Amino acid sequence: MSDSASRLSIVELQKDYRSGKRSPAEAVNDIIDSIQSRDEKLGAYISFDPEAALKEAEASDVNLPLGGVPIAIKDLINVEGQPCTCASRFLDSSYTSTYDATVITKLRRAGAIPLGRTNMDEFAMGSSSENSGLKPSANPWDIERVPGGSSGGSAICVASDTAIAALGSDTGGSIRQPASFCGCVGLKPTYGRVSRYGLVAFASSLDQIGPITKTSQDAALLLSVISGGDPRDSTALDADVPDYSNSLSGDVKGLRVGLPKEYFTSGIDPGVKTCIDDAISHLEKLGAEIVEVSLPHTEYAVATYYIIATAEASANLARFDGVRYGNRATSHDGILDHYRLSRAAGFGDEVKRRIILGTYVLSSGYNDAYYVRAQKVRTLIRNDFATAFSEVDVIVSPTAPTTAFKAGEKSSDPLQMYLADIFTIAANLAGICGASTPCGTVQSDTGTALPVGLQILGPHLSEGTVLRITDAFEKTTDWHRQRPPSQ
């Protein structure tokens, strides 16, 4: 296993390809072996098709930007001919994608091989992946604990070396938080940086696809490939796509790094706080200037997000009616009963809770009090960031207030689960970009080491700056190279 390609980053794999040390087919075979030996207890993959991946590997051109590089895909991004379950019983086995999402078209054009569909919270609703309607998953650092969510499977496979890199989606933290819990790098691009065409919509004004990787160099490579305007997504920005690898100068001297005073009050686990304080001192030693900033509406972010996200989800999920897609009630008493029975049997509890909440906040009489007001607060939150970014280049915080929690610890209390998103969701409300990179570990009460993520948030389209900082951090520390104990 020690020379298995599955342990490599994209950059390392490409070096091996180009020097002739290994071929894409050999690499894909290594990954298949790694999945077969490890994934049963981790549950990162919902499905994968070894033969199809090998066929693509044999035909791949290693001179393309991602030639022969296998990428695991969260199971809510359409890949033609493959299932796309969104980890929901509603779509399980009864739906096959008829087209490629734009990110998949772009990956293919760059020579990459979509390999495997990763587990997640059903329809991306959750922070632990416990809401998967199809199978449980576990954190490779401690299998009693959750991998985070909703892109839990994508983070597990990167952390456990059952993938080279993966795509996830982030509506309120679903790339950054699982990356933090599993010790990977996760990047949520600016809203509109990456096309959402072919991403099954949860909350359309918040959703973004992005990479989960072993290094920021890999995130830069993937982001350069998947970004860009798209005639099929009117919210995809036409802005130029730089080669993000060129931003990784390793130099952060003179960059102004903001610490929001509202983020560093209470509620952060002491072990996490120590790692973040050390990471901030480290950035200072590298030449960054640390400045206190204020994001005064922080305390309203969770409530605002859970109104807007559920409102949009209730509308988006109306398409799952048992007529056009997926689960279909067989005996019913008329069309309304058909919808009701199909939806009742197909959706899990959290998805139902969100649809009910979202329908309520949009209902006549309550729309102004909840939805319209939440939109106003969203503007205040966006303005907070604009003001802060007039003083600093980036903002730094923990990605999550705690390390990975135990399975079952928060699943019976949705509010506790929602509060765990405190540091990630404001970025989605403001549409800005952000990344998480490993910055330490904390000993759990049972003695296992659990990773901590450092979050760097930047203004719209500043992915280059954000990655420059996470990369500089990685070049001078080795937290991102640490592997779960069994690896």
Neighbouring residues of 363: CB distance < 8 A, sequence distance ≥ 6: none
Which C-beta is closer to ligand GLN: that of 219 or that of 288?
219
Q: Which residues pair with 365 in a beta bridge?
A: none
Which C-beta is closer to ligand GLN: that of 127 or that of 316?
127
Q: Alpha-carbon Rg of the chain, whole angstroms?
A: 21
Min CB(88)–ligand GLN separation in Å: 14
Which C-beta is closer to ligand GLN: that of 53 or that of 361?
361
The residues binding ligand GLN (CB under 6 A) are: 124-127, 150, 170-174, 202, 309, 421
Which C-beta is closer to ligand GLN: that of 113 or that of 124?
124
Which C-beta is closer to ligand GLN: that of 53 or that of 435?
435
Min CB(171)–ligand GLN separation in Å: 4
Min CB(422)–ligand GLN separation in Å: 11
Q: Which residues pair with 185 in a beta bridge?
A: 213
Amino acid at the residue 432: I
Min CB(197)–ligand GLN separation in Å: 18
Amino acid at the residue 15: K
Catalytic center residues? 74, 150, 174
Min CB(19)–ligand GLN separation in Å: 39
Q: Which residues pair with 142 in a beta bridge?
A: 139
Which C-beta is closer to ligand GLN: that of 6 or that of 316?
316
Amino acid at the residue 174: S
Q: Which of 389, 437, 374 is nearest to 260 (CA)?
A: 389
First and final C-alpha spacing in the chain: 9
Which C-beta is closer to ligand GLN: that of 38 or that of 188?
188
Structure tokens belonging to residue 98: 């008829």
Which C-beta is closer to ligand GLN: that of 149 or that of 183?
149
Separation of CA 322 from chain center: 28
Min CB(79)–ligand GLN separation in Å: 19
What Cα–Cα distance (Å) separates residue 138 from each residue in 178, 186, 388?
11, 18, 37
Min CB(4)–ligand GLN separation in Å: 31
Q: What angle do CA 314, 169, 171 make, to 5 degrees?
A: 45
Min CB(220)–ligand GLN separation in Å: 22
